[in-house]
Structure 1
Amino acid sequence: MDSADDENLRGQAEIWKYMFRFVDSMALRCVVELRIPDIINSHGGPITLAQIVSSIPEASSPDISCLARIMRFLVRRNIFTAHHPSNGSEDITLYGLTHLSRWLLTCEQTLAPMLLWQTDPTLMTPMHYFSGCVKGGGVPFEKAHGRGMFAFMSENEEFGKACNDAMECTARIILKEILSDSQCGDHVFGCLGSLIDVGGGTGGALSEIVKSYPHIKGINFDLPHVVSKAPVYAGVSHVAGDMFESIPSADAWIMHDWMDEDCVKILKNCRKAVPEKSGKVIIVDVVLDLKGNGLFDDMGLILDLLMAAHSLGGKERTEKEWKKILKEGGFSCYKIIRISTFLSIIEAYPE
């Protein structure tokens, strides 16, 4: 086979893999729903399929052969390990955890809630509307569900809770990365007297910051229907409001991405309230590197497509795009701090 034929064959193989990549996602969703990583972990070591099935709640008539095929596939993906007992029995397979499946456990540092939310049919269905929106405009989520995501969440409590759980698990991972580096954490948060998390959901992320820096007065700011369900956290007060109308006064904010015009509105409201000399805006978000080949560079582009599918004008931005909206919002000076994840910290200061 010459090089051209080899390249063509490899191309075909790649397209087949991309075509069926949803199988990976749904197999992962299956084992998280069944809590199989937790079941294996609770046994303290590799276990058999029969042991796994016996621990699955409400498994009245389990199909072990179906589970065996799912586990075989995920062993191939390095999600689980598989080996035979030391006594040499070839008919018994023991399944164990890997460094990948440990991210699916029910624990502080987990991606399981985000996996469940991102593979929810509510979020998967809009992806089928991309081509129609390219031809005729519109937002895929709105085409699929007849209203925007935030309106949908306010009307669907279960979906809204799944979203909050997903955001909180991600925030814990990101914040651990920031706070475990004392130099980074002290630089970002150490000098603050108060901190508002704008659009902070139920306040889980802010509570982690206040735990590490108890001198900070934490204010979790979000829509009324969100903060009404927020739990009590020491050092954190929940305030209901609309960031497009006004933002309470504090030393800094954490803000996530909206369409450019909305970001500028939010930043201008921040500018009105931020202390003239000591205040800053803290943005924890993606800074796209279009030519990057780092561990998480693909994630920025994946998240950008999710923004296109689920929000009106929402997107991930390059540094040049961030610089533009920060300046329009009244913050001409900024600093980008790269951390070991797909997000970066952007500190913006009044001009």
Structure 2
Amino acid sequence: MDSHHQDIDEAKSSSVNDEAFLVASNVAVSLAMLAVVKAALELKLDEHGKVERIYGLSPSGRYFVHRDDGDTLANYVALVNSRVIVDVCLNYKDAILDEGDDLFEKIKGKSFYHYLETDPKLSKSFHTSMADLSNMHMKKVLEGYEGFEGISSLVDVGGGNGMCLSMILSKYPSIKAINFDVPHVIQNAPSYPGIEHVRGDIFESIPKGGDAIMLKYICHNWEDETCIQLLKNCYEVLPEKGKVIVIDFITAEAPDSSNGAKYISSFDIFMFLFPGGRERTLKEFESLCQSAGFSQFHLAATAFSVCGVMEFHK
């Protein structure tokens, strides 16, 4: 295959890759699969006298296959099209009409995260999908955020299988790390050098000893009151001048039709349907910071134009 055909599978710059990721994420939710494949018409005729049409993956389409670099949305596509998720989505109107009710619990009898404990297949799909998304986002975070420098100990609250902590330690090996999550997640977490896995409940207590705590895509799971309580729990165990590193989606203050805004909107709908949470603006995150008693709020970096890395200083 000549270089022209190879270009079909390759993004031509970092900005193109970022945009492709956002488009691919939108496709995962809307199933607008035409964005996945790119077609190229050859100017010559084939042996039968017909114009030959050649297909290849577009920059967005590359995210829908399993890749060696781990940048894939294949597992996420499987998750959002699973029977359990589709059943809830088909009842979306009830979430609007029955304001305040947990739609997932209404349909399945348990809240989303409690249901995961009873459905190993869905739990594996969910945590694998979240690990894939975190892998892509954390790569970008580590490119632009320098706030891990100088941290001696870091607690990742709701850290899943610990993969993101391992990525951080690969760049900052001197950090002592604790991966904190619920028992059924920790029991399946692989062993990583320099990382201690700890089981527990984030709303009961946070492990002590960290001069920094990371909340990566945690706040969007909950309403303000619950987030403030969690942040207060973090505040209590932090030393003076300690900080919480909040990594989460940031919605625009004004209506926005960009791919990034569409991506966040799709997650906003999902958070509303399942855990009952939502995405927030930068001002809303600052309000959470102040309400939990922190003295300083700082937007330190962004990733993919949609993800903010914020610091809440004690």
Output the TM-score relative to the length of structure 1: 0.73
Match of 1:147 in 2: 110
Percent identity at matched positions?
Answer: 30
Match of 2:192 in 1: 233
Distance 1:179 1:25 in 2: 25
How many residues align structurally? 276
C-alpha spacing 1:227/1:116, structure 2 compared with 1 (3 Å): same
Is 1:77 aligned to 2:35, yes or no? yes
More helix by share: 1
Q: CA–CA distance in 2 between the matches of 1:332 and 1:143?
A: 39
**How far has the Cα of 1:92 moved from its partner?**
6.7
What is the deviation of 1:347?
Answer: 0.6
| CA-CA distance at 1:300 after TM superposition | 2.0
- 1:301–1:332 Cα change, 3 Å: farther
Residue of structure 2 in register with 1:164 after alignment: 127
User: What is aligned with 1:96?
Assistant: 56
Distance in 1, matches of 2:283 and 2:290, equals 11
Q: Structure 1 27/296 Cα, relative in aligned 2: closer, same or farther at 3 Å?
A: closer
Deviations 1:118-152 (A, max 9, x none): 22221222122232232233122122212111111
Partner of 2:66: 106
Structure 1 Cα separation of the partners of residues 66 and 54 of structure 2? 21
1:311 matched to 2:272? The reply is no
Alpha-carbon contact 2:141-2:302 (below 8 Å) kept = no
Distance, in Å, in 2 between the alignment partners of 1:245 and 1:85 is: 67
**Given that residues 287 and 318 in structure 1 are in contact (C-alpha distance below 8 angstroms), is that contact kept between their aligned partners in structure 2?**
yes
Q: For 1:188 and 1:119, locate their aligned partners in 2 and report how far apart those are by CA, in whole Å.
A: 37
Match in the other structure for 1:200:
159
Aligned residue in 2 for 1:188: 147
SS in 1 for 2:91: helix
SS of equivalent to 2:46: coil
Residue 331 of structure 1 aligns with an amino acid whose one-letter code is F
Amino acid at match of 1:226: V
How many angstroms does 1:173 deviate by?
0.8
The structure richer in strand per residue is 2
Q: Distance in 1 between matches of 2:43 and 2:186?
A: 51
Is the 8 Å Cα contact of residues 109 and 173 (structure 1) preserved in structure 2?
yes
CA distance, structure 1, for counterparts of residue 111 and residue 174 of structure 2: 38
Classify the secondary structure of the residue corresponding to 2:117: helix
Partners in 2 of 1:78 and 1:109 — Cα distance? 15
| Deviations 1:20-60 (CA, angstroms, capped at 9, x unpaired) | xxxx65996xxxxxxxxxxxxxxxxxxxxxxxxxxxxxxxx
Q: Which has the higher contact order (CA 8 A, sep 6+)?
A: 2
Structure-2 change in CA distance of 1:297 and 1:133 (3 Å): closer
Is the alpha carbon distance of 1:121 and 1:190 closer, same or farther for their aligned partners in structure 2, counting shifts above 3 Å?
same
For 2:175 and 2:313, the matched residues in 1 are separated by 19
The superposition leaves residues 172-229 of structure 1 with CA deviations (integer Å, 9 ceiling, x where unpaired) of: 1111112223xx2xx2111111111101111111111111111111111001111001
Q: Which moved more, 1:217-226 or 1:106-115?
A: 106-115
Contiguous gaps of at least 5 residues in structure 1: 1-23, 29-72
Aligned to 1:131: 93
The 1-side partners of 2:283 and 2:51 are apart by 59
Could you tell me which residue of structure 2 aligns to residue 333 of structure 1?
296
1:209 equivalenced with 2:168 (yes/no): yes
Cα distance between partner residues in 1 of 2:112 and 2:80: 13
TM-score, normalised to structure 2's length?
0.81
Distance 1:289 1:98 in 2: 28
Q: Is the 8 A contact 1:85 1:94 kept in 2?
A: no
* Residue type at the aligned position of 2:37: I
Report Cα offsets for 1:73-122 as digits up to 9, x if no partner: 95x43524355696614387543222122112212111212222122221
Q: 1:267 to 1:26 in 2, by over 3 A?
A: closer
Asked if the contact 1:85–1:93 (Cα under 8 Å) also holds between the matched residues in 2, the reply is no
Name 1:324's counterpart in structure 2. Answer: 287
Q: CA RMSD in A?
A: 2.3
The offset of 1:290, in angstroms, is: 3.3
CA contact (8 A) 1:323 1:332 kept: no
- Are the aligned partners of 2:45 and 2:51 in contact in 1 as well (CA < 8 Å)? no
CA contact (8 A) 2:29 2:80 kept: no
Structure 2: distance between partners of 1:305 and 1:222: 25
